[in-house]
Every structure is written in C-alpha cells, then in structure tokens.
Structure 1
Amino acid sequence: MQPENMNVDALDVWSPLVDQRFAISGVDAHSQLSSYDAELALVHKAYVMAKRRRNMLAPACRVPSEVLSAIFALAQLDWIPEYSAQEGDEGVYDLGWIYVSHVCSHWRDVALRTPSLWNTINCLALPHRSAFSVYHRSKRLPLSLTVRTNTNLYDYEELKRAATAWLTPIVCSRINAVTLLDCVDEDLALVAAVCSQHMPELSCLEVCAEVDETVQCLPARFCSGARPAKVTLFGCLPHWNTTLLSPALTHLSLHAGTSVNGALLPPWAHFAALLSSLQLLEELHLDDIFPPVLFNTPYTVVALPSSLKTLDLAASRYCYQCLKFFVSLQIPPKSQVNIVMKEIEPPQFVEDIVTELPSALKMLHGTDENDALPAELVVDPFTVDIYMDELRGESWTTDTIRDSHVRATSGPRAHMSVHPGEALQDAWERSALRVIPHLLTLPLHNLSALALSRVAVEVLVQGGHVSGLSAAKGVRLGLEVRGYAMLLAVLCVGDLDRGFDLLPALEIVHLHIGASDSKTGISESDCTSDMLALAYFVTERRDGGAPLKEIVVQKGLENWDVWDAVRSVVTVNFVAFNT
C-alpha cells in the first residue's frame, strides 16, 4: 500500500472517531470536561504505545540489545559525566554517556537492563539524589566508586551531603574499588570519615591528596575491615596498624609528594615486620617514604617475598635514606628493580649520595662481590641512568628516562637513575654530569656500554673526566649523530705498542638523532665535522689493530653519503630504535 493511501485510510478511520468521541453536546460543561479528560488520557496512552511501536521499526531500535550494550559501554569510556560551575553560578551536571538512555524507550530499556553500565560511578559528577536509582540499576555487581573533590566546585556542606548520599552503609558493603582524587586536607578528613564504614569487599584503594606542606595520615578506621589486594596512596599515609596493610596485599604504592613528618613514619622494626608479612606482594612502589633504617636489629635485612615482580623506589628529599633502605632488602633474583633519585634538593649533596652507590650497585647486581659494576651507563646533562643488565639492541639509546617508567624488555632488569634537578642555582651543581667523576672512580672493567648525549660529550671531554674511562675495555658506545667529534679525537690517542688509551676493545658505535634534532630536523651538512671525525676514527682504529665490528645508525639517516665511505672500513647497519 502506498504511503498516500495509508494516510487516506488513517484519515477515514480517525476523523469519524474523533468527531464522535469529542462532539460538543448540550450536557453541562463540567461533565463534558471530565469526559474529555478521560478520553484524552486514553488517547495519550494510545499515542505512547503507537510511538513505541513506530520507533521499533526505526533502524536504531532494531540493533540487538547485546550490541547496544557494547556500544553504550564504549560511549561510557570517553563520554564521562561531569559537574561544572562558574563562580557565583549554580552548577550544571553533564550526564555524559547517560544521555544515550534518553534517546528512546528501547535504548533506555537496554541501558537500564545492563547492570555493568551502572557499577562504575563517578559520584560527584552525578546529582546525589540519583544515588539510589544508580545503585539499584547495578543489581548485585561489585561497585567501583570515584570521588573527585574540588573546592572550586563544591563547598563543604554540599560535599558532605553528596558523600553521605553516595557512601551509605549498604553501598559500602558492596564496594570493590574506591578512588579518592584531588582531596585537600578538609575534604580528605570529611571523605575519610564517611569511608570509615565497613567495606568487607574492597579489593582496590587509591587516594590522591592535594597537600602543600606535609603529608597527612589516614585514620585507623578508614575503610574499616577492608583487606584490599591493591593500595595506592599519594600525599597521605596509611595508619600503620590498619587492616589496609594486611597480608592480602599484592600491590602497594606509597608516594609522599611533599615532605614527610618523621613522626608519621613507623619505627624501622615495625615497617620491616610489615614488609616481611606481605608474602603475596607482587609490586612495591615507595616514593620518599623511607623510615630510617636501624641496623643491628632483628630486621637488619628484610627478605621480600619470592612473588615480587617489581620494586620501584623514588626519592627527591630522602635519597640517602632511599639507598640505605634499598641495601637493607633481600630481593628475589627475578624481580625488576628501578631506583630513581630525582630533583635532589639541598641540604642533600650528590657527592654524599654517590658514596652509597657501591653498596647499592652490589644489591642491584645481586652479588656480594666488591667490584659489582653497572653494565650500562646513559648520561645526559640532567640524568644518569645506571643499568645492571645491558640493554637489548632495539633499546639502545642516548636518552635517559626522566620518570620512574622503565622501558619494557623481555627479561628482568635493574635500573637506577640520578637526576639532581633544577632547584640548585649553579648549572654545574644541578647537572647530573657531576655524578660521573664519582662513577668513574669505580672499577669499570665490566662496563659493557656507555651512551652520552651531545652536551655530556662536550662537558666530559672539556672537563677532562673522560680519562676515567681508561679502566673500561669492551664498551659499546652510544652517541648522538651530531657533536661527538671531540670525543672520537680523544679515543684515537694511543700507539701500536700499548694500544689505545681509552676503550681499547671498542667494537660497536651506535648513533642516534638527538631529542632536540628530532624536533627541528637534521641533515648531513649539519654534521660535516662529525662525519669526517667518524671516517678518520674507524680508519685509525683499524690501522691501530683494534678495528670496529659495526656502526649501528638510527633509521631515517640511510641516505647520507658518509655511510658509503665508512662501509669500506666497517659494517654499517640501520635500526629502528625504540623511542
């Protein structure tokens, strides 16, 4: 039937019906109004039913419920509800992905019948009056709650009402994960008080406190009765006798973020006993939270469990204590170890910290030998990276790691990073390069790789520090593709009788595009003096009886003419290094 015929048929049916049901008669107006109201109520029900049936024929409503649920879940990832307010104006809630449930009754029905859409909740981004309905829609699924406080959006009383509405006792009994973000001191105290209710199902806790002067300590009853597997605290400390630090822990991360009042730290014996009790621990991250180690106690050495996969230690204010803490640990041989000393602040001195390095290197190396050495050093003006295992070929680099992230490798690796930081006034005082003279006093006969940035080459050669490499023999050398000519000149010094003075067994040089050059671009003409120095260097090494085996160059530089000239002396290969 054609659409116009359908319209004619509908008109033929409905016109007489409307005329009959809504005809004006001579009865009193009050009775007729009541009759019309009853008729209109039935018409409205019919309208709603007809519209629903009509919408079911639309393409959007013919999508299977399972597919719609998956689409809604994807929308939930990026279209996040949020609350915003300008100063002096009433706040506005943006419901984000929840708007999909307002499109039509079918979409709403699918959304409401999908509990997994409602068990991950950013509490303060939704009106607190909706708390009950949201929890009801989540059925019996475990709940994951995020509370992001913000004093620019919420006053104390409003925050109190919202937190109380969302964190009721019945809800707390179902909570699987709690994340508290952007908490200032007053907010943290309020939310901590609300979170003192019993949470027997809690498995993951994350608290991020915004602190200015010193970290705060959470109350003993915070998340009462909880024995989570994962705990992450930033800017706050746990109560050291809380059930949050139970033997059930598999991941523990404590980050100070600012200075720590020593009175808030537990005695060494207590902390050592705590670590010894965590027999399921897989990851341990500590940042500037190191109770002073007391030797000659029952816990002089703390044996970490064999389950430990990752140990991350970071320090800026308490670097010396960090190293002291590290050497008091007994670490499983397959654990990945990462130590970062960053933004070292006065009154600490790099020289004092370096005195502890030999002991720390022994621990990183997993040996009691006095000459435990790093396998690879990566040096730039800001950071020194110390690796106890040589990097794999695709990970060769002249770039240091500026945070606690460690590049992924196929096997375990120990890594230490020293970053003096910008707080010091003098450029040399805040330079990581002043660590190098101390490192070069160590026996370096096992050093297998050294990578230097362009500025590191300049400072080390001009300062005469490069002579400390005389003990290193078979070192793989990494350089930026520009600025290394002066170093190669030093490496050519020697004679046929005694051989070369520095790096006499050098076999591989790998060349990289520096960080600054990768942004601005670089051409062969920018590196003319370095390319000439390279050609001279490989020839001198060959003629001196210590030929290089290989030069490895970062991909992207294959078209440079110099490689054809160098290939007559040494093999040249190109590699896409990890960046």
Structure 2
Amino acid sequence: MAGSAARAALLDQELETMQRLDIITLAKQRRNMVIPACRLPAELLTRIASFAQLDWAPSRKRGNRVSTLGWIGMSHVCSSWRMVLVSTPSLWCSIPCLELSPRCMPDVLARTRHLGLTLTLTTNTFADATGPSCAPALRLWMGLPISRRTRHLLIKDGTETFRANSWSTLLLHSMPMLESLSINLGQGSSAHARDDLVLPGDMFGSISPPRLSSIKLSNCSLPWGSGLYSASVTYLSLIMDPRNTATSPTFAQFGELFARLTSLTFLLLHDVFPTSPNPAHLVRLPATLKSVRLGSSANGTPNDCLGTFIRSELPIQASYSISIAKNRPGFDNDLVSRSITHLFHSPPEPPVELFLHYRSFVVNFNPRWNASSMRGGTKWFQKFVDQRQRYLKVSDNQSHDDALFPNLHRMRLESLKYLNVTGETMSLMNSTQNPEWWKSTFTSARHIVGLAVDYVPELIHLLCALADDSSSLLFPLLKTVILCRYADGQTGNPVTLAEYDAAQLQVSLIDFLHVRKQNGALTLELRVEEGALGPEELRRVEEVVNVVVF
C-alpha cells in the first residue's frame, strides 16, 4: 500500500507540473523549434512581413465589417516569429492610424524605438452613416508628441469626415522631421467651391517649416507663397477639382513658385493653371526637371493648360506628357498646333521613333526601337517608362472630330527611323486616309527602317501605299515590319477579322512584299505576333520573306 501511495504521489506531482503554463509554453516552444517555418532566418521573415504590409493591413470593426489584425497577426504564429517581428522597429514605423485601436498605440510606438514615423489617415473605410466621429482619433495621432517624429504624412478623406471635424487645425503642430506630405480630399458632393481647399499658411510651424522633398495635394492647395514650397522639394503633384477656380494661381504666382523650386525633378499639374495666360509672360521651369505631366479633365480648363504650356521654357532633357479633354465649348484648336510645335520641335536632338495611338502622339529619342521588343509591339508606350519621351493626347468623348491628326504634318518626320501605328489610330483616320494620304503625309520620312502596325482592315491603305512604285517608294529603307494582333481596347480580347477583310489584307500584304522584293529593296523581315496570321497565311508569306513569330 505504501508503494502505491508513493507512486500516486509522484504521478500527481507530474500532472501538476504538466499543467503549469510556463512548462506547457516551454514544451510548445521546443516542439516548434523542429518546424522549418518557425526557423526562418530573421532577415527573410522581416522581408516577408514587409511585403505582407502592402496588401494585408489591419482594420477595425465598423458596422458589419470584421476586425482583423492584418499582417500583425504574423506575430502570433509562434514565439520566434513574435520575437523577430516585435524587435524590428522598421516594421512598425508605417502606421495605419485609423485602423488601430487606441489601446494599441503605446505598444506600436514603443516598438518603433523612436524612429521616424509614416502616418496614414484615410477615412474611406473609417466613417459611415452611423459611425462615431473620428475627431478623437485625429487628435490622438496628430498630437504634438507624435508630430515631432512624423517623417511621412498621408491624409486621404473621401467622405468629408475630416472636414466636419476641422482637421486642418491639427496641422499647426511643428513637424521638424517631415519629408513628404500627401493630402487627397476627394472632390466631394458639392458643385460649389469649398471653403477648406486652401490649407493653413502656417502649417507645421511658420517659424521653421520642415524642408519637404515631396508634396502631393489633390483637391486642396497651399497658399502659393507658402514656405513649404522650397528649394528642397524634388517631387510636386497638384491636382484640383476644376469646379474650384478660386484656387487658381495668377501667372505671376505661377512663375514665382517655380523660381523657388530649384531642385524639382518631377512635376504633375492637373487643372491647376493660371487663367487666360498673358502672351507676354513666360514661365521658366526648373532646369533640374526630369519628368513633366500636365493635364486637364473633361470639365477642366484645356485652354489654360495648353496656353500655360506654350508659354513655358522647357528643360530639354525632361520627358513630357500632356493629356487634355476638349469637351467644353470654346476650345481653341490653334493651341493644339502651337503645342505640337513647342513640344516636338524643342528636343535635345531629332526624334527617332513616333507612336500614333488613338488621339495621341508619342515621340521617343532613344536609339532603340521600343516596339521591336517582344513585350512591346504597338503597345510599347504602355509598358516602357522612358525618360526621353514626349506625349500629347487630345481626347473628345462628345465628338468624332479630331484635333490632333490634322496636325500630323507639323511633326518632325525627316529624322524618324521607327513608326508605330495602332488599330485605333487607323480606324479613327479611316474617313480621310488612303494610299495617297500616307504617301503625301510621310513623304519626308525617308529614313524609316522599322514599322509596327496592328493587323486590322484599315491597314490595307498603308499596305497599298507601300506597294505603290509608280513614283518614289514610301519608306524606301524599310527593313522590318511587325504585325501585331489587334485586341479590343475595352476588353483586351483579340479581334477576329471578317472573312472578306482577312482575304483583302492577305492579298495586299503579299502584293506589298512582292513589289518590294522586285524593286530590289533591302531584305525584309516580317515579325508576326502569334495569332495575327493563320497557318496558311504564314506559309504564303514565308515564300517571300523571312518570318519570325513571337
């Protein structure tokens, strides 16, 4: 009996030990140490967490919305993961402020180890019709202790919640470490000018404002003489609701602004232009600019956009993109022709490649042929970011009248080596183009060696022009032709040609290739996108020229 009692006592002691939380935790940790996922190197785990942050943000419960920790839940997988993630300050410095419970704030800030902060305040998912005011949250995250550590500030208000809580007064705190500012207020529901579009002039401290490197403002603006527009700014993006013309600068303010931005490399302006620019005034853009993007929306001021552009002195090494909509009455078509001259006749050197897309011109100055890339084709401008491109688009959704292509003769064509034409372009010009149009328009383009086109019924006019040897040949040095399969602009699905169109195109293509061969032209190479030509068509073409299918 005594032996049994002793064994029972030992077993009771063992059970008691096994029920201790610290022993259970230790046992689980030892078990997890043999799991490969729990033994990931710290550098790899933090890298994975940084990627997870991009698309797996935490969110708070509001209405029917489920609360989630997002990427922070990774710190609950095991103790080793938690130890690594919690001890990596850089992971905690980007804070989605309105998505975290106030109870989390002390812990999150402690994990940043006093590094600079990136604060994101967005109301797109914060407020709803029955939700609480976000004023307490704004005061919490934009208070003085946190403002002193803020390096990047992103504010996005798509619900006018901030406006209802006088949020702009919270921007008066000093932010000495602030490097980038992004504020997007949305267009709001009112068709009238809003009274909160101009931000406080003494924002972030008027005595010693931060030296920002990046400013992005949408549907709001700083006073044009603000000290935040300083020589330290390298990135500037200003987008305005065209209904709020009260915030438009004068031409003098516009010129003074860029006189101060001596380090600017990127500029985006959309519906932020002086009204009725004075022809006698010129704006000198900073010589440091590498990329300039100008635009005007359907309800905007395209005349002011183009008028300001043609009165600007352009840094010749920068890339330019100008996109306007001329839907409004009173559009001055003469500004288009003047803009073409200003944009395409003042480059550092003659253009090499011309891209004709639906209601747009794109010129490239690099010696390589972008469309010859197997990833490029006639859509290369959508896939390549080139610092030496110039782009002009004039759209009109309410009219079929085209303000751009009648000015094609104003382009510098004599230096071109490569020409790319989309199916949308040929469809747009179908009422005016014919073989003679192609020959007369491109008569000076005698150095073209590469041609990329979509295989569409309207291509027949260009093929007939290329086959016409009654006088001088069009593109006499042509060496490579790229045929791309045409895809619907909205769905992206390949378009199948009707039988008669396909037959007519086949005949015209073979005729063009035979004529060039008979005239002793340079050896042609035909590159065909898979699916553009059928097996029988390819066989016929291969009897005349070398064919490469991509």
- 1:55 maps to what in 2? 28
- 2:149 maps to what in 1? 174
- 1:294 maps to what in 2? 278
Matched AA of 1:15: D
Aligned match of 2:404 in 410, 430, 435? 435
Q: Give per-residue Cα distances to partners, 1:119-158, cap 9 Å, x unaligned.
A: 1110111112332332122121111110011364376862
- 1:320 maps to what in 2? 303
Aligned match of 1:471 in 408, 432, 443? 443
Aligned match of 1:457 in 426, 434, 449? 426
Q: Aligned ranges for residues 248-267 of structure 1 at < 5 Å? A: 248-256=232-240, 258-259=241-242, 261-267=244-250
Matched AA of 1:309: K
- 1:27 maps to what in 2? none
- The CA distance in 2 between the partners of 1:398 and 1:71, in whole Å, is 37
- 2:266 maps to what in 1? 283
Matched AA of 2:409: L
Aligned match of 1:220 in 189, 195, 201? 201
Does the aligned pair in 1 maintain the 2:123–2:161 contact within 8 Å?
no
Aligned match of 1:337 in 320, 327, 336? 320
Q: Deviation at 1:445? A: 3.7
- The CA distance in 2 between the partners of 1:397 and 1:65, in whole Å, is 43
State the Cα RMSD in Å.
3.7
Q: Deviation at 1:461? A: 4.6
Q: Structure 1 residues 181, 284: CA separation in 2 closer, same or farther (over 3 Å shift)?
A: same
Does the aligned pair in 1 maintain the 2:376–2:383 contact within 8 Å?
no
- 2:254 maps to what in 1? 271
Matched AA of 1:13: L
Q: Deviation at 1:280? A: 1.8
Matched AA of 2:378: T
- The CA distance in 2 between the partners of 1:364 and 1:408, in whole Å, is 21
- The CA distance in 2 between the partners of 1:172 and 1:98, in whole Å, is 24
Partner of 1:562, secondary structure, is helix
Q: Structure 1 residues 11, 259: CA separation in 2 closer, same or farther (over 3 Å shift)?
A: farther
Q: Structure 1 residues 569, 113: CA separation in 2 closer, same or farther (over 3 Å shift)?
A: closer
Aligned match of 2:535 in 522, 537, 560? 560
- 2:356 maps to what in 1? 378
Q: Structure 1 residues 348, 236: CA separation in 2 closer, same or farther (over 3 Å shift)?
A: farther
Q: Give per-residue Cα distances to partners, 1:466-506, cap 9 Å, x unaligned.
A: 355253332443321232224323443452xx334x55555
Q: Structure 1 residues 194, 446: CA separation in 2 closer, same or farther (over 3 Å shift)?
A: same
- The CA distance in 2 between the partners of 1:9 and 1:269, in whole Å, is 98
Q: Give per-residue Cα distances to partners, 1:428-478, cap 9 Å, x unaligned.
A: 23xx5x521232366744454443333533553542473552533324433
Q: Give per-residue Cα distances to partners, 1:499-521, cap 9 Å, x unaligned.
A: 34x55555443211112396247
Partner of 1:440, secondary structure, is helix
Partner of 1:56, secondary structure, is helix
Does the aligned pair in 2 maintain the 1:147–1:180 contact within 8 Å?
yes
Partner of 1:134, secondary structure, is helix
Partner of 2:225, secondary structure, is coil
- The CA distance in 2 between the partners of 1:523 and 1:261, in whole Å, is 47
Aligned match of 1:489 in 446, 457, 464? 464
Equivalenced residues, count: 516
Q: Structure 1 residues 450, 75: CA separation in 2 closer, same or farther (over 3 Å shift)?
A: closer
Q: Deviation at 1:291? A: 2.1
Matched AA of 1:245: Y
Correspondence 1:120 to 2:94: yes
- 1:5 maps to what in 2? none
Does the aligned pair in 1 maintain the 2:18–2:24 contact within 8 Å?
no
- The CA distance in 1 between the partners of 2:51 and 2:545, in whole Å, is 54
Q: Structure 1 residues 70, 565: CA separation in 2 closer, same or farther (over 3 Å shift)?
A: closer
Aligned match of 2:493 in 512, 519, 526? 519
Runs of 4+ in 1 over 6 A off after TM superposition: 43-46, 523-526
Partner of 2:113, secondary structure, is coil
Matched AA of 1:85: R
- The CA distance in 2 between the partners of 1:562 and 1:513, in whole Å, is 14
Q: Aligned ranges for residues 241-252 of structure 1 at < 5 Å? A: 241-252=225-236
Matched AA of 2:485: I
Aligned match of 1:149 in 123, 130, 134? 123
Q: Which moved more, 1:131-140 or 1:392-401?
A: 392-401
Q: Give per-residue Cα distances to partners, 1:161-215, cap 9 Å, x unaligned.
A: 1111122201000001111123444514633222221111011111121114457
Does the aligned pair in 1 maintain the 2:422–2:453 contact within 8 Å?
yes
Larger Rg: 1 or 2? 1
Q: Structure 1 residues 441, 56: CA separation in 2 closer, same or farther (over 3 Å shift)?
A: closer
Q: Deviation at 1:310? A: 1.6
Matched AA of 1:274: L
Give TM-score, length-normalised by structure 1: 0.77
Does the aligned pair in 1 maintain the 2:284–2:313 contact within 8 Å?
yes
Give TM-score, length-normalised by structure 2: 0.81
Matched AA of 1:398: T
Structure 2 stretches lacking a partner, 5+ long: none
- 1:94 maps to what in 2? 68
Does the aligned pair in 1 maintain the 2:307–2:335 contact within 8 Å?
no
Q: Structure 1 residues 85, 463: CA separation in 2 closer, same or farther (over 3 Å shift)?
A: same
Partner of 1:477, secondary structure, is strand
Q: Structure 1 residues 522, 12: CA separation in 2 closer, same or farther (over 3 Å shift)?
A: farther
Q: Deviation at 1:50? A: 1.8
Correspondence 1:206 to 2:182: yes
Partner of 2:535, secondary structure, is coil
Q: Give per-residue Cα distances to partners, 1:337-384, cap 9 Å, x unaligned.
A: 22223x4321254734423234323555248xxxx888514133xx32
- 2:10 maps to what in 1? 13
- 1:80 maps to what in 2? 57
Does the aligned pair in 2 maintain the 1:338–1:406 contact within 8 Å?
no
Structure 1 stretches lacking a partner, 5+ long: 1-7, 19-42
- The CA distance in 1 between the partners of 2:60 and 2:54, in whole Å, is 17
